[in-house]
């Protein structure tokens, strides 16, 4: 009765007993596959000093040049950073940072002069950097409504609960809702070049700073091709904003939810010190460097308060290579790991030489 | 009137108490007939029906009961709590992340357990529905077994087994006896005689039986197989006749009727109240040692988890002390949150951290372990080497929970009859005056010369020698209690079962006697029958010789011999005596004692069961005298046994030694080899048998359990009669300890190899004396300890004369001893069931003695020899597989969760998850689950053949060596290291810099995805590094799950998923892959995190290789040599 183990084949075997003598036995015996007998052909590598040695040397030989390459590339990148928070009394933005109030109608502006010691070839990327700003705080990260941002009309009227306490204002839904949108970086940075005492504005491009997919797929204005003002009728602007979302830019392709500054801000940073792409300074022609050596001024419309949480604001100018911005870490890490591998390779070679033979002879004597 | 009242009172009291067990006796109405009026009024008691239930669930209670049992498991309960917390409070991850795996686990387990219970139901039904013949209204009706009720009268035919406990009423034999074998109950395959009560034995047809009017009063069921007290009242002419009933009237469920055409019997105990069922132990869930260490690790991780959550909660509030950090202008709380009390907030934060880190205790580990065990057990069932061609059976797995425990066995408790031996006696040789006769070939009594070095049989023996030779043969033909079964009842089928051997013709309570009589037949003297107290022998010349059987001096275990007195055809009186050598030699006055003795000793060493035969011619006067003596003793009313013994002692003396015989209880094929392998693998083998000591020890020698140089310590009734138990125990322990001291000295001088090893023989009675908890003196508590100490130092122990429950007791004793060794019990009969259930691993042999053992075992194998592969290969594999599985699971979850912990320090302790929900959920379920599952099914670190050839490899994994704390800590540290490399690697790459070549920035989800990608690759590669046996399946699964991860991530980020309320992962993975530095850093981080483990492995292998690694290396070299040879 219990002959029926898990496989029903056994029982089949019983039934076919009436068959030719050997047949019954064979049917009882399941197909003798290598898998069932755990005898599948297998590659059985073992990690010995002998087999690992070449791998270590190869890794070392590959990693060290890569590391050197990365390090050199990183060093060739030009980067300029300026802190315009206005913590020091001497800082031009000190006043603005001191007398900050959300309700002030007149924006506070300050001008910071700086000197570029090198000329910047190629495209220059202009970033703003914030420190001690926790964009990755859980309450903050989830405080957004992706379907509202994707143009969903229903979500426009009834923002997600996650946006609380930035979902409704004066009983009107906030568009865009949530803490992230509400705290959007709203300083205006302008750059001026001062060749020979004149003041030449540096042309800044505000497009191409957001991910292509975000700009074209993830973020959409509600109501296809309608007048934005009409679409956002009945919604309230985020509390801290000076202008409603449909007045972010004059260019209809960069207005509303698909405003690139907005999209960039909405991609929450991983760490409390971060930078975000603000503008691109495109190279105009091959003869002139994008930014020449010389005196510049940064004109800031100071709207974004960071002093209350001991934050910092920076403006960064940087060129970019194929491996991104200035970051010596990757190159150093490659060189380190490569050298460690190489070193271990040497150690293992010694061990292999000293003990490998003894080991083998012991085996064979066994 | 007064009587009526008392009846009423009894009635009321019986029904009011509501508990039927208070009656300590029961009354049974044979055939459900009312007793005649006027007798004492009996109240019909209610008895259970004859249903056997071994299943756990019914259809209705399956879901609630199974759920309850599953959530009683700490791990499941923990996950349930986490799930509920996620449902109730606002937590960083959605309830789906833990709900989905939990539901999956619970469902898979429920399905598995349901399926196993369904199998048990099927088996129960098969038993419960087998047909039974019942006498009702003078007719025989066929009923299903479970419908039997107490009081029914059943008809049992030959070779059927009894459906429940029965009182024999009558049999087809005139004397009201029947023969029964209780092989499946207590392992004794000999036929025992049972008796019907005098007053009922004449009722031999169904009509007559139906007319029996009577009641049986007997005790309530109790598990002792050999005890029964009762009384039968037969009403004849309304006049009750009371007769006592004892165990000789009780036929037990599970026993089989033999050599009797049919019997009628009354049902007294049914179903779960039968003695057989009461001897079962309740099935308890067996847990393996691996599971225990898993639980220990779990507790450690739980502590880590709680402390992580506590630390984070604490730091969170320290950090938040500044209101500008707690609630900066850009990140305000809702009003409701602000209003919440600080304590509640802190508590929910704590819970939220718990939820965030809960993945460190992997739900999926339990699923994977369950699946690994369930699927892995198929390899045992599929194994062709564990299939018996003859029986057509292969190994069976009843509980897959214990696969790895097979690799951890330290004590093996084995049954003897049917497990070690074939349960099939065979005559090997006899020795007459030093001449050895070996009936090698069955054909017409050809005499073959004996072993080399012995006296060859004289080709032309002198007339005197020939005479003695024939006298010896006649003695063996006459001196026995064998019965001959009539030819006509032997049908062809029966012949078939016994492979045409004539053994089925002779029946005896001692299989040795059958073997001897059969052996004589082969040597030319055939015992025909006993007719009118004349024994008939067919001699070599085909003449029938008749001997009148005058007296039988029956065998008893004290004398250890038996005798017959016969008168030959020519009127001479002879006394023939056969018995153990120790009881015959001192009584011999003539014969070639020395030659015979040397042969006997030689045979005993070979593991054969030897008997000596002697005779004494009697003159008629002597016979008369003896007769007188015997009759006087037999008729004595007082001290009958003592006087009989004295009489026997007087009669059986001054014997003339004829020779000796040797009988073999054939060992199972390769039993000795198996036992030797088990010994070499470091296991201690105990034989527990119901058999008598001599037989059992002979088997032990034959099966190499005891070696020639094993020093045997006896702890038997015989010895404790001479000395007190106390002294014996202390004597033995002193012997052992002296040896032990010597051994340590030896080991100092490096000569530990040749110390004598000890074997202990203990019998049931002594064992119970040792184990008996005694009230008066505290010494007895020590007995157990001393006994255990002795046992620990014996490489082999033989326990004989054991009752089934005693077998379980001894297993329990060892189990509970201070090292907590892993025990394995193996047996084939119902008498082994209790020990099979008690031991950590119970193995059933699919023997001749029914299916009880098989059904109750965890694993069932066709033959004892299969144990070797089951333990040494399968057990070994499963152990290393599952230990890697467990360690790896904890490792990969440390790698998984520790970065998340570190991330809290950079996100203001806000419980922000580092990874996306999908990754959190699928990491354990799909990205990293299959490789380890397949690893844990396929891995073979050492070739199967080597494992079989070298049993000492089993010692490498003994005592749960791969799950010890240092190894666990190593894995955990490795996990933490990897996590740190992953997290800080990504951190420094992300820190305040651009990562792309178009200047655009990445966000927190890209950061998490980068860590996660490196993580998945690292842990998978780590497994790949550990894999030693790469079949195509391993390749497929390892590379396949990495590809799956990439494809999934592309898909997950490739679409705006309409059903999700967030699109945080949109395009993240692709954007990451489009960045060159991301690729470079993935490669770098994987390399950096794998590096230390590889280096550790290589260096350890080179400097301190384990045996396993040596053998791996050797095998590796061999394959290379092989290849070279092939190339040449």
pLDDT digit string (tens) for B103-127? 887 888 888 888 888 988 888 888 8
What's the burial of B586, exposed, middle or buried (CB within 10 Å: 0-12/13-18/19+)?
Answer: exposed
Tokens of B510: 């001692």
What per-residue confidence (pLDDT) applies to A31?
63
Mean pLDDT of the B135-155 span: 86
On chain A, the residues whose CB falls within 8 A of the CB of B1103 are 351, 355
Tokens of B221: 């069921």
Rounded to an integer, what distance in angstroms lies between the CA atom of residue B124 and that of residue A213?
65
Nearest to B1102 among A146, A182, A352 (CB): A352
B107 CB within 8 Å of a chain A CB: no
Rounded to an integer, what distance in angstroms lies between the CA atom of residue B723 and that of residue B711?
20
On chain A, the residues whose CB falls within 8 A of the CB of B998 are 208, 320
What per-residue confidence (pLDDT) applies to B459?
44
Asked if B382 and A36 come within 8 Å (Cβ–Cβ), the reply is yes
What is the chain A residue with the closest CA to B389? A25
What is the chain A residue with the closest CA to B1118? A364
Which of B905, B1000, B1002 would you mutate first to test chain A, the one with the most A CBs within 10 A? B1000
On chain A, the residues whose CB falls within 8 A of the CB of B1003 are 267-270
pLDDT > 90 in chain B, percent: 20
For the stretch B360-389, pLDDT in tens is 887 778 778 888 988 998 999 999 888 888
Paired residues of B243 in beta bridges = B232
What per-residue confidence (pLDDT) applies to B739?
63
State residue B831 phi and psi, 5-degree precision.
-70, -15
For the stretch B895-918, pLDDT in tens is 999 999 999 999 999 999 999 988
The SS3 call for residue B338 is helix
For the stretch B1045-1092, pLDDT in tens is 999 999 999 988 888 888 889 999 999 999 888 999 999 999 999 999
What per-residue confidence (pLDDT) applies to B189?
59
The bridge status of strand B177-181 relative to strand B191-195 is antiparallel
pLDDT tens for chain A, residues 1 to 366? 333 333 333 333 333 333 333 333 344 455 678 888 888 888 888 888 888 889 999 999 999 999 999 999 999 999 999 999 988 888 888 888 887 777 677 788 999 999 999 999 889 999 999 999 999 999 999 999 999 999 888 889 999 888 888 999 889 999 899 999 999 998 999 999 998 888 999 999 998 999 999 999 999 998 877 788 888 888 999 998 988 999 988 888 898 899 999 999 999 999 999 999 999 999 887 788 889 899 999 999 998 989 888 899 999 999 998 888 888 899 999 999 999 999 999 988 888 888 765 554 444 433
Residue B504 has pLDDT above 60, yes or no: no
Rounded to an integer, what distance in angstroms lies between the CA atom of residue A129 and that of residue B993?
10
Residue B348 has pLDDT above 80, yes or no: yes
Residue B671 has pLDDT above 80, yes or no: yes
A207 CB within 8 Å of a chain B CB: no
Rounded to an integer, what distance in angstroms lies between the CA atom of residue B935 and that of residue B945?
20
What per-residue confidence (pLDDT) applies to A270?
93
Cβ atoms of residues B1082 and B1014 within 8 Å = yes
What is the chain A residue with the closest CA to B1089? A337
Residue B561 has pLDDT above 90, yes or no: no
What per-residue confidence (pLDDT) applies to B440?
54
The Cα of B557 is separated from the nearest Cα of chain A by a number of Å equal to 39
Q: How confident is the model at residue B139 (pLDDT cuts 50, 70, 90)?
A: confident
Residue B792 has pLDDT above 60, yes or no: yes
Interface size A-B, in CB pairs within 8 Å, comes to 314
Question: B801: annotated binding-site residue?
Answer: yes
Mean pLDDT of the B977-1003 span: 89
What per-residue confidence (pLDDT) applies to B1005?
94
Cβ atoms of residues B176 and B167 within 8 Å = no
The SS3 call for residue B279 is helix
B94 CB within 8 Å of a chain A CB: no
Count other C-beta atoms under 10 Å from residue A197's C-beta: 6
Rounded to an integer, what distance in angstroms lies between the CA atom of residue B632 and that of residue B642?
12
The SS3 call for residue B667 is strand
Rounded to an integer, what distance in angstroms lies between the CA atom of residue B715 and that of residue B300?
46
The Cα of B1003 is separated from the nearest Cα of chain A by a number of Å equal to 4
Q: How confident is the model at residue B38 (pLDDT cuts 50, 70, 90)?
A: low
What per-residue confidence (pLDDT) applies to B304?
92
Paired residues of A291 in beta bridges = A120
Cis status of the peptide bond prior to A165, with omega within 30 of 0: yes
Nearest to A146 among B334, B1001, B1062 (CB): B1062
Higher pLDDT, A298 or B693: A298
Nearest to A33 by CA among B382, B394, B870, B387: B382
Nearest to B278 by CA among B230, B228, B231, B217: B228
On chain B, the residues whose CB falls within 8 A of the CB of A325 are 993-995, 999
What per-residue confidence (pLDDT) applies to B529?
79
Question: B417: annotated binding-site residue?
Answer: yes
State residue B636 phi and psi, 5-degree precision.
-60, 140
Nearest to B1113 among A43, A48, A273 (CB): A48
Higher pLDDT, B422 or A88: A88
Cβ atoms of residues B66 and B114 within 8 Å = yes
Residue B500 has pLDDT above 70, yes or no: no
| Among the ranges given (A284-298, B427-441, B513-527, B823-837), the one the predictor scored with the smallest mean pLDDT | B427-441
Residue B915 vs residues A364, B253, B307, B397, B1096: alpha-carbon distances, Å: 51, 64, 22, 41, 30
Rounded to an integer, what distance in angstroms lies between the CA atom of residue B585 and that of residue B653?
10
What per-residue confidence (pLDDT) applies to B35?
65
Which of B90, B873, B986, B1001 would you mutate first to test chain A, the one with the most A CBs within 10 A? B1001
Rounded to an integer, what distance in angstroms lies between the CA atom of residue B901 and that of residue B313?
12
A277 CB within 8 Å of a chain B CB: yes
For the stretch B998-1020, pLDDT in tens is 888 999 999 999 999 999 999 99
| Among the ranges given (A220-234, B278-292, B635-649, B750-764), the one the predictor scored with the smallest mean pLDDT | B750-764
What per-residue confidence (pLDDT) applies to B714?
83
Touching A: B residues 369-428, CB under 8 Å: 377-379, 381-384, 387, 389, 392-394, 396-397
B1076 CB within 8 Å of a chain A CB: yes
On chain B, the residues whose CB falls within 8 A of the CB of A348 are 1095, 1098-1099, 1102
Residue A17 vs residues A11, A22, A23, A28, B806: alpha-carbon distances, Å: 10, 9, 8, 9, 41
Task: Give the contacts of B1023 (CB within 8 A, at least 6 positions apart).
Answer: B888, B931, B932, B935, B1038
The SS3 call for residue B652 is coil
Which segments within B323-374 are labelled E, that is strand? Answer: none
Rounded to an integer, what distance in angstroms lies between the CA atom of residue B1023 and that of residue B500?
58
Nearest to B317 by CA among B909, B911, B912: B909
Asked if A271 and B1098 come within 8 Å (Cβ–Cβ), the reply is no
The bridge status of strand B758-763 relative to strand B711-715 is parallel
> Which residues of B are catalytic, by number?
415
What per-residue confidence (pLDDT) applies to B938?
92
DSSP state of B334: P
What's the burial of B7, exposed, middle or buried (CB within 10 Å: 0-12/13-18/19+)?
Answer: middle
Count other C-beta atoms under 10 Å from residue B817's C-beta: 17
Nearest to B872 by CA among B1073, B677, B701, B1046: B677
Asked if A326 and B1077 come within 8 Å (Cβ–Cβ), the reply is no
Nearest to A151 by CA among A199, A104, A215: A215
Residue B464 vs residues B410, B524, B614: alpha-carbon distances, Å: 57, 19, 16
Nearest to A337 among B335, B911, B1088 (CB): B1088
Count other C-beta atoms under 10 Å from residue B532's C-beta: 7
What is the chain A residue with the closest CA to B1077? A323
Annotate B6-30 with three-state secondary structure.
HHHHHHHHHHHHCCHHHCCEEEEEH
What per-residue confidence (pLDDT) applies to A273?
93
Question: Looking up tokens 């390459």, which residue turns up?
Answer: A69
pTM of the predicted protein model: 0.81
The Cα of A281 is separated from the nearest Cα of chain B by a number of Å equal to 11
Tokens of B823: 């025990």
A193 CB within 8 Å of a chain B CB: no
Residue B353 has pLDDT above 70, yes or no: yes
pLDDT > 70 in chain B, percent: 86
Question: B186: annotated binding-site residue?
Answer: no
Touching B: A residues 151-170, CB under 8 Å: 160, 162, 164-166
A31 CB within 8 Å of a chain B CB: no
What is the chain A residue with the closest CA to B1108? A363
Residue B709 has pLDDT above 90, yes or no: no
On chain A, the residues whose CB falls within 8 A of the CB of B1063 are 146, 150, 218
Mean pLDDT of the B396-400 span: 83
Mean pLDDT of the B523-529 span: 82
Element (H, E) at B544: strand B544-556
Q: How confident is the model at residue B849 (pLDDT cuts 50, 70, 90)?
A: low
Touching B: A residues 232-271, CB under 8 Å: 240, 264, 267-271
Asked if A274 and B997 come within 8 Å (Cβ–Cβ), the reply is no
Residue A268 vs residues A139, A271, B72, B329, B1002: alpha-carbon distances, Å: 12, 9, 43, 17, 8
**Residues B846, B847, B848, B850: is their CA dihedral positive or negative?**
negative
Rounded to an integer, what distance in angstroms lies between the CA atom of residue B518 and that of residue B496?
18
Residue B852 has pLDDT above 60, yes or no: yes
Nearest to B1098 among A5, A49, A341 (CB): A49
Residue B444 has pLDDT above 50, yes or no: no
What is the chain A residue with the closest CA to B379? A36
* Furthest CA-CA distance within chain A: 111
Residue B417 has pLDDT above 90, yes or no: no
């Amino acid at each position: 009765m219990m002959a029926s183990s898990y496989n029903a084949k056994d029982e089949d075997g019983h039934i076919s007993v009436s068959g030719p003598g050997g047949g019954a036995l064979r049917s009882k015996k399941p197909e003798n596959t290598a898998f069932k007998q755990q005898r599948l052909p297998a590659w059985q590598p073992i990690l010995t000093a002998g087999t690992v040695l070449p791998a270590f040397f190869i890794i070392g030989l590959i990693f060290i040049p890569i590391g050197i390459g990365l390090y050199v590339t990183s060093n060739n990148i030009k980067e300029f950073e300026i802190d315009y928070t206005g913590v020091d009394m001497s800082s031009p933005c000190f006043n603005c940072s001191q007398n900050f109030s959300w309700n002030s109608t007149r924006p506070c502006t300050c001008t910071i002069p700086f000197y570029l010691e090198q000329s910047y070839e190629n495209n220059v990327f202009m970033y703003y950097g914030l420190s001690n700003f926790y964009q990755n705080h859980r309450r903050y990260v989830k405080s957004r409504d992706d379907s509202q941002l994707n143009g969903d009309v229903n979500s426009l009227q009834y923002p997600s609960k996650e946006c609380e306490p930035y979902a409704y204002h004066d009983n009107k839904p906030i568009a865009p809702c949530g803490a992230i949108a509400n705290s959007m970086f709203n300083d205006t940075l302008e750059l001026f070049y001062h060749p020979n005492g004149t003041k030449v504005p540096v042309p800044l491009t505000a497009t191409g700073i957001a991910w292509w997919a975000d700009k074209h797929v993830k973020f959409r204005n509600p109501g296809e091709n309608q007048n934005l003002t009409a679409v956002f009728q009945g919604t309230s602007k985020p509390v801290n904003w000076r202008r409603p979302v449909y007045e972010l830019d004059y260019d209809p392709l960069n207005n509303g939810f698909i405003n690139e500054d907005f999209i960039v801000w909405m991609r929450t940073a991983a760490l409390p010190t971060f930078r975000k792409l603000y503008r691109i300074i495109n190279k105009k022609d091959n003869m002139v460097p994008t930014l020449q050596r010389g005196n510049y001024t940064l004109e800031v419309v100071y709207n974004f308060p960071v002093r209350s949480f001991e934050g910092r604001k920076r403006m960064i100018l940087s060129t970019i290579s194929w491996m991104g911005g200035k970051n010596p870490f990757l190159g150093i890490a490659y060189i380190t790991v490569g050298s460690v591998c190489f070193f271990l390779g040497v150690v293992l070679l010694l061990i292999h030489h000293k003990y490998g033979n003894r080991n083998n002879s012991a085996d064979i004597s066994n | 009137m007064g009587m009526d009242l008392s009846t009423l009172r009894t009635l009321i009291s019986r029904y009011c108490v509501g508990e039927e067990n208070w009656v300590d006796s029961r009354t049974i109405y044979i055939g459900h007939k009312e007793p005649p009026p006027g007798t004492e009024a009996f109240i019909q008691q209610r008895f259970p029906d004859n249903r056997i239930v071994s299943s756990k669930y019914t259809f209705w209670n399956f879901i609630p009961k199974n759920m309850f049992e599953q959530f009683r498991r700490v791990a499941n309960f923990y996950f349930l709590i986490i799930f509920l917390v996620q449902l109730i409070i606002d937590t960083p991850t959605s309830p789906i992340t833990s709900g989905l795996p939990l539901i999956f686990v619970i469902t898979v387990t429920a399905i598995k357990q349901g399926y196993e219970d369904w199998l048990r139901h099927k088996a129960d039904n098969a038993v419960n529905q087998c047909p039974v013949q019942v006498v009702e209204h003078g007719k025989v009706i066929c009923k299903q077994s479970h419908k039997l009720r107490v009081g029914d009268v059943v008809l049992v035919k030959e070779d059927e087994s009894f459906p429940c406990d029965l009182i024999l009423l009558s049999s087809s034999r005139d004397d009201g006896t029947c023969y029964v074998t209780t092989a499946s109950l207590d392992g004794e395959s000999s036929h025992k005689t049972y008796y019907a009560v005098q007053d009922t034995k004449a009722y031999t047809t169904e009509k007559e039986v139906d007319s029996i009017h009577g009641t049986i009063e007997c005790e309530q069921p109790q598990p002792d197989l050999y005890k029964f007290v009762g009384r039968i009242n037969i009403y004849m002419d309304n006049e009750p006749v009371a007769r006592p009933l004892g165990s000789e009237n009780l036929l037990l469920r599970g026993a089989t009727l033999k050599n009797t055409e049919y019997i009628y019997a009354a049902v007294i105990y049914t179903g779960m109240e039968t003695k057989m069922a009461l001897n079962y132990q309740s099935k308890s869930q067996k847990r393996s040692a691996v599971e225990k260490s898993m639980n220990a690790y779990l507790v450690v991780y739980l502590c880590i988890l709680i402390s992580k959550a506590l630390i984070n909660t604490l730091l969170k509030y320290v950090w938040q002390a500044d209101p500008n950090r707690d609630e900066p202008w850009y990140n305000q709380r809702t009003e409701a949150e602000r209003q919440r009390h600080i304590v509640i907030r802190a508590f929910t934060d704590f819970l939220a951290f718990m939820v965030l880190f809960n993945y460190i205790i992997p739900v999926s580990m339990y699923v994977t372990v369950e699946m690994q065990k369930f699927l892995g057990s198929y390899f045992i069932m599929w194994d062709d080497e564990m299939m018996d061609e003859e029986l057509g059976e292969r190994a069976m797995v009843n509980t897959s929970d214990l696969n790895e425990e097979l690799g951890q066995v330290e004590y093996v408790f084995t049954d003897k009859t049917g497990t070690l031996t074939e349960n099939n006696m065979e005559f090997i040789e006899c020795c007459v005056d030093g001449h050895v006769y070996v009936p090698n070939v069955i054909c017409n009594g050809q005499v073959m010369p004996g072993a080399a070095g012995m006296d060859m049989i004289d080709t032309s023996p002198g007339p005197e020698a020939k005479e003695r030779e024939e006298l010896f043969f006649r003695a063996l033909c006459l001196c026995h209690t064998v019965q001959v079964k009539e030819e006509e009842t032997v049908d062809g089928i029966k012949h078939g079962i016994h492979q045409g051997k004539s053994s089925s013709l002779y029946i005896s309570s001692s299989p040795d006697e059958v073997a001897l009589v059969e052996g004589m037949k082969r040597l030319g003297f055939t015992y025909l029958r006993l007719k009118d107290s004349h024994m008939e022998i067919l001699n070599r010349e085909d003449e029938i010789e008749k001997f009148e059987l005058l007296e039988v001096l029956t065998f008893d275990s004290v004398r250890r011999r038996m005798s017959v007195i016969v008168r030959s055809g020519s009127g001479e009186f002879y006394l023939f005596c056969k018995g153990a050598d120790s009881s015959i030699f001192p009584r011999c006055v003539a014969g070639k004692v020395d030659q015979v003795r040397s042969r006997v000793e030689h045979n005993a060493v070979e593991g054969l069961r030897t008997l000596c035969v002697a005779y004494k011619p009697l003159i008629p006067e002597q016979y008369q005298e003896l007769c007188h003596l015997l009759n006087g003793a037999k008729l004595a009313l007082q001290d009958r046994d003592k006087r009989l013994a004295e009489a026997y002692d007087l009669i059986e003396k001054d014997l003339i030694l004829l020779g000796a015989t040797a009988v073999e209880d054939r060992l199972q094929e390769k039993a000795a080899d198996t036992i030797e392998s088990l010994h070499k693998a470091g296991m201690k083998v105990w034989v527990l048998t119901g058999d008598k000591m001599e037989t059992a020890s002979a088997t032990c020698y034959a099966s190499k359990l005891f070696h020639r140089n094993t020093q045997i310590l006896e702890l038997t009734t015989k010895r404790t009669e001479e000395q007190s138990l106390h002294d014996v125990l202390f004597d033995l322990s002193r012997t052992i300890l002296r040896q032990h001291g010597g051994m340590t000295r030896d080991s100092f001088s490096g000569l530990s190899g040749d110390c004598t090893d000890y074997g202990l023989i203990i019998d049931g009675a002594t064992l119970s004396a040792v184990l008996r908890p005694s009230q008066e003196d505290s010494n007895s508590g020590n007995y157990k300890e001393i006994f255990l100490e002795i046992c620990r130092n014996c490489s082999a122990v033989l326990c004989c004369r054991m009752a089934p429950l005693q077998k379980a007791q001894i297993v329990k004793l060892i189990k509970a001893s201070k090292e907590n060794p892993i025990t394995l019990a193996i047996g084939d009969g119902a008498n082994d069931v209790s020990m099979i259930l008690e031991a950590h691993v119970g193995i059933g042999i699919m023997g001749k003695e029914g299916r009880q053992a098989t059904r109750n075992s965890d694993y069932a194998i066709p033959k004892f020899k299969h144990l070797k592969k089951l333990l040494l290969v399968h057990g070994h594999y499963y152990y290393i597989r599952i230990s890697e599985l467990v360690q790896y699971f904890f490792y990969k979850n440390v790698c998984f969760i520790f970065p998340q912990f570190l991330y809290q320090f950079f996100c203001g302790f806000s419980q922000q998850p580092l990874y996306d929900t999908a990754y959190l959920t699928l990491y354990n379920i799909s990205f990293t689950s299959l490789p380890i599952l397949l690893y844990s099914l396929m891995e073979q670190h050492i070739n199967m053949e080597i494992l079989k050839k070298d049993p000492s490899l089993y010692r490498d994994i003994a005592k749960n060596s791969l799950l010890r704390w240092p190894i666990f800590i190593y894995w955990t540290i490795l996990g933490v290291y990897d996590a740190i490399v992953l997290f800080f690697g990504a951190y420094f790459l992300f820190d305040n810099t651009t990562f792309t070549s178009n200047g655009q920035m990445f966000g927190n989800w890209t950061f998490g995805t980068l860590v996660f990608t490196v993580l998945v690759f690292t842990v998978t590669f780590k497994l790949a590094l550990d894999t030693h046996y790469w079949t195509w399946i391993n390749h497929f699964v390892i590379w396949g799950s990495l590809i799956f991860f990439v494809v999934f991530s592309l898909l997950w980020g490739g679409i705006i998923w309409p059903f999700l309320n967030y699109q945080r992962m949109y395009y993240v993975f692709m954007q990451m892959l489009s960045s060159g530095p991301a690729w470079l850093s993935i490669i770098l981080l994987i390399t950096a995190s794998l590096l230390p483990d590889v280096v550790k492995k290589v260096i350890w292998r080179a400097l301190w290789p384990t045996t396993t690694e040596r053998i791996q290396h050797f095998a590796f070299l061999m394959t290379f040599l092989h290849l070279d040879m092939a190339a040449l």
